[in-house]
């Protein structure tokens, strides 16, 4: 097992590097000029200023040399400085990642906690009202566009019923908690500020539902399908023939086997939530990585783009690794 | 089988699903914040472009508002008056005895937010820092040779070209006064090697050391900027304890927030959202005039387009566009339209002048011009534009409007959407093969900055070489000291530019800001920093 993990880790490392190379080449084929994405009209027209600026950001060097510099810095744990924020990329990521991490994690838990039981019930009581509800929920979740759902949620619960707080992570006049982890739920507890905890939690409700919607739909459907498949297996028939209570069969026999595809799906879904929240973040003015990534891309902020790519690649690779490892735990046949 | 799942029955499941609803319905801490809310001003605005709050590095659209609240410049501009400057940290000014620069007398008893008295050294140091840092703002004052201390309340700014304008440029928030001691203690440098020696950007981004009505207390990126009252403000006690400039990127969310009273002003509403506020009695619309404009640039490079190379053909386009339709129907009338590259409100540009000398839709004249140009049956050209919107009007919609307008005289437009950065790359390098729809906003308020741009940078982009007499006219207008004569010269210049027909200004936005009636005074300004935060006052 350790050997298995080690070899996977090494592969992951190579893959991450490859991902940065691909993005580096892709980002550099865009015909736009980063100078013009960043500088004002007057500065961008001043040749000396532009030349100095290019030199400052290393944009005057040949492509391969720039990539080598990126690699060299990387091995010193330095992702370079973002051109548009003029701060170390690592610091930017550190500032923006917690908001996304918090939102994605809450959404993920929400999707699992609602999606799995719903899927199980739907499978067990096939064609009952609960199955229809589950189907409806997953259909709505999967098919409604995020920006639309986000806006409807805001309009109904914030604007209309006035039972939910508005955009942002905390109330507009609340002060953020002293930063320990950057996760407001945890920081506010550490600071002993329950008022703020309540505020931060309330602000998480709408965006996390919106973000969870698609994932929830997927998980419900997959759970249902997977359960149904397992229910047809011989061992279930045997268990029933033995006279076991149905509840035991579901929990003890069907569920563990049905969970395997959900682990894969869940892992990837989590990675997706972490990296794909741009729209939700925009509408809820959530200061997370999604917005940062978007801005970096449209302003051709190469160091930031590279940094984000690397982080995203690493997140996916780690989650994939965890999936594989958990496979081995769930299904001993995987590792011989 | 129907005996079912005892461990999760119908009721339990509903409870489970109800958890989210419960969290929503739980009482929010609104009441707790109610007290603070009265002393706090909350502005809802998209500040995603704010990347620095360092005056000497400023180059964005929304950051000047914050900087102008925390710092003061020697002179300033009052809302509505964009020709003559008003006293700021200087109470008097005039030419230096030798005529090579300007002499300023400092206001007495001005204190920084630390309580220390502002000195003439602070002023000199602040200018030196801008110049030596060599970032974008340094270019606007490239004409400044040096700053000299005369005595403890007098300072000279000596110019390289003494006749070129200075006052209106240094009213911009890039040229404010910082407290040298505090700035230096936090890594700032104004020395010759400031480019590498200055390490203060980080500190200046979340603090301030100015004389302004408010002090920057924190900036959480893409979240909010926090300002607190400067107890030592020279202009009297500022009314709010705190100001929160809250980042809300989505106009629809701003609309909901201002309705609920979570924010006191919403800056990024589009016309439909503004219309939705009509019935709301607790919210009013305040016009924010601007000196920005949206224009179409037309190349005259014959290699790109033979027709566009002919002046009369370009003029025909100018007479075919339905400008009034754009302003009235697309913007609900919330816009002005200057004759050319001088926004309405500055010297030589009024609505009257624009009506007299600007293009207006005249299809007969457009057809005559086409015939004269030798393109009786029209011609074809492309219009490129980015994926963006100004005042809720997308470039795409503008392109479609122009397309249908010029079609009426037989000119065919091919619309070409381009990514914003690529568009700018093409345009600034003179590779645009037809028209380009884009936006102009000035770094500071001075005719020279607009006119200079037209005859230098923008002319190159459309492959036009301005003749010497045009250059001379601009120089003359910029340096003329008699206000009336100066305005006349600028009118003459605009006439020539309209005739040249490389640029068609489509509209100059009058942004509509929604303000709650909890706020009484809300002095919006077109001078470049949107709002004079020191002058915002709550209703009693």
Tell me the two tokens of residue B128.
């030196």
Contact between chains at A171 and B262 (C-beta distance less than 8 A)? yes
Q: Does residue B259 sit at the A interface (CB-CB below 8 Å)?
A: yes
- Pick B246's closest partner by Cβ from A118, A168, A199: A168
CB-CB neighbors (< 8 A) of B263 in chain A: 172
pTM of the model: 0.86
Pairwise pLDDT comparison (B6 vs B354), residue with the higher score: B354
B285-342 pLDDT per residue, tens:
999 889 999 999 999 999 999 999 999 999 999 999 999 999 999 988 889 999 999 9
pLDDT confidence of B198, banded at 50, 70, 90? very high
For residue B334, count CB atoms less than 10 angstroms from its CB and return exposed for 0-12, middle for 13-18, buried for 19 or more. buried
* In chain B, residues 39-68 whose CB comes closer than 8 Å to chain A: 40, 42, 44, 48, 51-52, 57, 59
Distance between start and end Cα atoms, chain B: 70
* Chain B CB contacts of A125 below 8 Å: 4
Q: Does A51 touch chain B (CB under 8 A)?
A: no
Indicate if A277 and A315 belong to the same structural domain: no
Question: Using CB atoms and an 8 Å cut-off, which of residues 255-274 of chain A contact chain B?
Answer: none
Lowest model confidence (mean pLDDT) among A118-122, A221-225, A319-323, A328-332: A328-332
pLDDT band at B24 (very low <50, low <70, confident <90, very high): very low
Residue A118, in any domain of the structure: yes
- Greater confidence (B522 vs B220) lies with B522
Distance from CA of A261 to the nearest CA of B (A): 23
Residue A258 lies in a domain: yes
If asked whether residues A145 and A207 sit together in one domain, one would say yes
Please check whether residue B270 touches A, CB under 8 A.
no
Instruction: State whether residue A171 sits within 8 Å of chain B by CB.
Output: yes
Which pLDDT score is estimated for A63? 83
Whether B262 and A95 lie within 8 Å, measured CB to CB = no
Output the pLDDT for position B98: 93
The answer to whether B13 contacts chain A (CB < 8 Å) is yes
* A200 and A257 part of one domain: yes
Asked if A285 lies within 8 A of B250 by C-beta distance, the reply is yes
What size, in residues, is chain B?
540
The beta-carbon neighbor of A172 closest among B8, B244, B255 is B244
Residue A294 located in a structural domain: no
Q: What's the gap in Å between the CA of B93 and the closest CA on chain A?
A: 28
The alpha carbon of residue A147 is apart from the nearest alpha carbon of chain B, in Å, by: 11
Q: Which of A87, A174, A283 sits opposite B253 (nearest CB)?
A: A283
Residue of chain B nearest A176, judged by CA positions: B220
Q: Where are the beta strands (DSSP E) in A145-290?
A: none
* pLDDT tens-digit series, residues A3-57: 877 888 888 888 888 888 888 888 777 777 777 777 777 777 778 888 888 888 8
Q: Is residue A89 in a domain?
A: no
Report the alpha-carbon distance of residue B286 to residue B510 in Å, rounded: 10
Predicted confidence (pLDDT) at residue B5 exceeds the cutoff of 70: no
Q: How many CB pairs under 8 A join A and B?
A: 194
The answer, yes or no, to whether ipTM is higher than 0.90 is no
In a domain, A164, yes or no: yes
Instruction: Please tell me whether residues A306 and A234 are part of one structural domain.
Output: no
Does the beta-carbon distance from A42 to B457 stay under 8 Å?
yes
Q: Do B13 and A198 touch (CB under 8 A)?
A: no
List residues bridging with B504 in a β-sheet.
B296
Give the residues across from B509 on adjacent strands: B335
Residue A131 tokens read as: 């199955």
**CATH number assigned to the domain comprising residue A264:** 1.10.3720.10
Average pLDDT over every residue of A234-256: 84
Q: Please indicate, yes or no, whether residues A313 and A281 belong to a single structural domain of this protein.
A: no
Rounded CA-CA distance B502/B458 in Å is 9
Chain B residues in contact with A42 (beta carbon < 8 A): 136, 139-140, 443, 449, 453, 457
Chain A hits for B249, CB-CB cut-off 8 Å, are 282-283, 285, 291
> Which H or E run contains A47?
helix A47-56
CB contact under 8 A, A39 and B59: yes
**End-to-end CA gap in chain A:** 9
Rounded Cα gap, residues A78 and A82, in angstroms? 11
pLDDT above 70 as % of chain A? 98
Verify that A41 and A162 share a domain, yes or no: no
Check if B1 contacts A (Cβ < 8 Å). Answer: yes
The reply to whether A182 and A106 lie within a common domain is yes
Instruction: Tell me, yes or no, whether A148 lies in a domain.
Output: yes
| Helices and strands in chain A: count of H runs, count of E runs | 16, 0
**pLDDT tens for each residue of B497-512:** 999 999 999 999 999 9
Per-residue pLDDT at A125 exceeds 90: no
With beta carbons less than 8 A apart as the criterion, state whether B287 and B510 touch. yes
Tell me what the mean pLDDT of segment B197-222 comes to.
92
pLDDT at A312: 85
The reply to whether A211 and A253 lie within a common domain is yes
Residue in chain A closest to B224 (alpha carbons) equals A172
Q: What percent of chain B has pLDDT over 70?
A: 93
Q: Work out the minimum CA distance from A308 to partner chain B, whole angstroms.
A: 17
* Cβ-contact B44, B265 below 8 angstroms: yes
**Does residue A20 sit within a domain?**
yes
pLDDT for residue B240 is more than 70:
yes
CA–CA distance, B507 with B521 (Å, rounded to integer)? 27
Q: Look at residue B423 in the predicted model and tell me its pLDDT.
A: 87
CB contact under 8 A, B425 and A159: no
Cβ–Cβ below 8 Å for A42 and B202: no
Range of the domain at A31: 1-84+299-336
Q: Does B34 touch chain A (CB under 8 A)?
A: no
Q: Is B100 helix (H, G, I), strand (E, B) or coil?
A: coil
Distance from CA of B95 to the nearest CA of A (A): 27
| A33–B59 CB contact, under 8 Å | no
Which A residues, 101 through 140, put their C-beta within 8 Å of a C-beta on chain B? Answer: 110, 113-114, 117-118, 120-121, 124-125, 130
Minimal CA separation from B423 to chain A, in Å: 8
Sequence-ordered list of residues with C-beta below 8 angstroms from that of B298, at least 6 positions apart, any chain: B308, B314, B317, B381, B434, B435, B462, B501, B502, B503, B504
The C-alpha atoms of residue B109 and residue B528 are separated, in whole angstroms, by 27
B210-224 mean pLDDT: 92
B17 close to A (CB below 8 A) = yes
Residue with tokens 């709650």, as numbered in its chain: B516
pLDDT at B35: 57
Q: Does the distance separating the beta carbons of B28 and A165 come in below 8 Å?
A: yes
Is residue A92 a part of any domain in this protein?
no
Half-sphere exposure of B4 (CA within 13 A, CB side): 13
DSSP, res B524:
B
* Domain co-membership, A67 together with A102: no
Distance between CA atoms of residues B432 and B455, nearest Å: 18
Pair A149, A251 in one domain:
yes
Contact A95 B221 (CB under 8 A): yes
pLDDT score at B503: 93
Answer yes or no: do A116 and A265 share one domain.
yes
Do A62 and A101 belong together in one domain? Answer: no
Of B37 and B258, more confident = B258
pLDDT in tens, A72-89: 888 888 888 888 888 889
Closest CA to B538 of B513, B520, B515, B524: B520
pLDDT tens-digit readout, B32-87: 455 567 789 999 999 888 888 999 998 888 999 999 999 999 999 999 888 899 99
Q: Which residues pair with B76 in a beta bridge?
A: B86
> Domain count of chain A?
2
Residue position matching structure tokens 């935060």: B533
């Amino acid at each position: 097992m350790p050997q298995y993990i080690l070899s996977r880790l090494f592969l992951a490392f190579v893959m991450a590097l490859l991902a940065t190379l691909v993005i580096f080449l892709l980002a550099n084929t865009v015909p736009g000029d980063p100078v013009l994405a960043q500088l004002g009209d007057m500065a961008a027209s001043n040749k000396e200023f532009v030349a100095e600026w290019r030199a400052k950001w290393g944009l005057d060097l040949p492509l391969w040399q720039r990539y080598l510099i990126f690699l060299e810095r990387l091995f010193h744990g330095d992702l370079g400085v973002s051109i548009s924020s003029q701060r170390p990329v690592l610091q930017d990521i550190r500032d923006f990642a917690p908001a996304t991490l918090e939102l994605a994690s809450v959404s993920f838990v929400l999707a699992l906690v609602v999606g799995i039981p719903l899927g199980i019930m739907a499978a067990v009581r096939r064609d009952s009202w609960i199955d229809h509800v589950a189907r409806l929920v997953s259909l709505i979740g999967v098919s409604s566009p995020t920006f639309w759902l986000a806006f409807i949620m805001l309009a109904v619960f914030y604007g209309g019923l006035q039972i939910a707080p508005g955009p942002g992570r905390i109330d507009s006049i609340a002060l953020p908690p002293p930063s320990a982890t950057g996760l407001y739920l945890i920081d506010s507890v550490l600071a002993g500020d329950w008022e703020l905890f309540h505020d931060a939690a309330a602000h998480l409700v709408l965006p996390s539902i919106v973000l969870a919607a698609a994932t929830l739909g997927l998980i419900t459907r997959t759970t249902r399908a997977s359960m149904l498949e397992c229910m047809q297996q011989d061992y279930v028939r045997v268990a029933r023939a033995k006279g076991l209570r149905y509840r035991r069969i579901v929990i003890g026999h069907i569920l563990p086997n049905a969970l395997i595809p959900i682990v894969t799906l869940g892992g990837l879904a989590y990675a997706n939530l972490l990296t794909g929240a741009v729209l939700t973040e925009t509408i809820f003015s959530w200061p997370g990585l999604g917005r940062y990534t978007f801005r970096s891309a449209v302003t051709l902020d190469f160091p930031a783009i590279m940094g984000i790519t690397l982080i995203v690649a690493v997140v996916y690779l780690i989650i994939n690794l965890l999936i594989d490892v958990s496979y081995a735990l769930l299904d001993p046949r995987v590792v011989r | 089988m129907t005996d079912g799942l005892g461990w999760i029955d119908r009721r339990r499941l509903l409870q489970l699903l109800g958890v989210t609803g419960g969290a929503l319905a739980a009482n929010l801490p609104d009441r707790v914040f109610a007290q603070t809310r009265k002393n706090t001003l909350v502005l809802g605005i998209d500040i995603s472009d704010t990347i620095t709050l360092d005056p000497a590095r400023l180059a964005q659209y929304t950051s000047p508002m914050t900087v102008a609240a925390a710092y003061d410049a020697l002179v300033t501009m009052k809302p509505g008056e964009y020709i003559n400057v008003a006293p700021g940290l200087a109470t008097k000014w005039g030419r230096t005895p030798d005529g090579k620069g300007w002499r300023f007398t400092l206001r007495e008893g001005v204190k920084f937010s630390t309580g220390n008295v502002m000195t003439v050294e602070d002023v000199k140091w602040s200018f030196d820092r801008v110049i030596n840092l060599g970032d974008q703002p340094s270019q606007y004052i490239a004409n400044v040779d040096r700053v000299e201390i005369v005595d403890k309340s007098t300072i000279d700014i000596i110019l390289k070209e003494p006749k070129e304008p200075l006052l209106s440029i240094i009213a911009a928030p890039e040229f404010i006064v910082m407290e040298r001691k505090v700035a230096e203690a936090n890594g700032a440098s104004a020395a010759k090697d400031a480019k590498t020696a200055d390490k203060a950007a980080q500190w200046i981004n979340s603090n301030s050391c100015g004389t302004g009505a408010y002090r920057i207390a924190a900036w959480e990126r893409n979240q909010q900027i926090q300002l607190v009252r400067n107890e030592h403000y020279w202009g009297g006690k500022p009314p709010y304890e705190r100001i929160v400039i809250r980042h809300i990127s989505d106009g629809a969310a701003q609309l909901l927030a201002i309705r609920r009273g979570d924010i006191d002003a919403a800056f990024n509403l589009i016309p439909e959202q503004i219309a939705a506020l009509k019935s709301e009695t607790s919210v009013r619309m305040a016009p924010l005039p601007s000196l920005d404009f949206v224009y179409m640039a037309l190349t005259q490079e014959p290699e790109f387009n033979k027709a566009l190379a002919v002046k009369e053909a370009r003029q025909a386009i100018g007479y075919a566009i339905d400008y009034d339709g754009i302003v009235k129907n697309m913007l609900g009338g919330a816009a002005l339209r200057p004759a050319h590259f001088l926004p309405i409100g500055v010297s030589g540009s009024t609505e009257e002048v624009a009506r007299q000398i600007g293009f207006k839709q005249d299809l007969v004249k457009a057809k005559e011009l086409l015939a004269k140009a030798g393109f009786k049956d029209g011609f074809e050209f492309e219009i490129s534009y980015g994926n963006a919107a100004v005042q809720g009007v997308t470039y795409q919609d503008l392109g479609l409007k122009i397309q249908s307008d010029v079609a009426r005289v037989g000119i065919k437009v091919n619309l070409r959407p381009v990514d914003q950065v690529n568009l700018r790359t093409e345009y600034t390098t003179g590779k645009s093969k037809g028209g380009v729809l884009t936006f102009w906003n000035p770094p500071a308020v001075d005719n020279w900055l607009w006119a200079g741009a037209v005859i230098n940078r923008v002319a190159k982009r459309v492959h036009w070489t301005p003749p010497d007499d045009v250059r001379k006219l601009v120089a003359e207008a910029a340096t003329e000291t008699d206000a009336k004569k100066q305005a006349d010269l600028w009118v003459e210049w605009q006439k020539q530019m309209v005739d040249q027909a490389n640029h068609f200004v489509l509209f100059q936005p009058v942004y509509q800001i929604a303000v709650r009636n909890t706020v009484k005074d809300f002095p919006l300004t077109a001078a470049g920093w949107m709002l004079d935060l020191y002058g915002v006052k709550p209703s009693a």
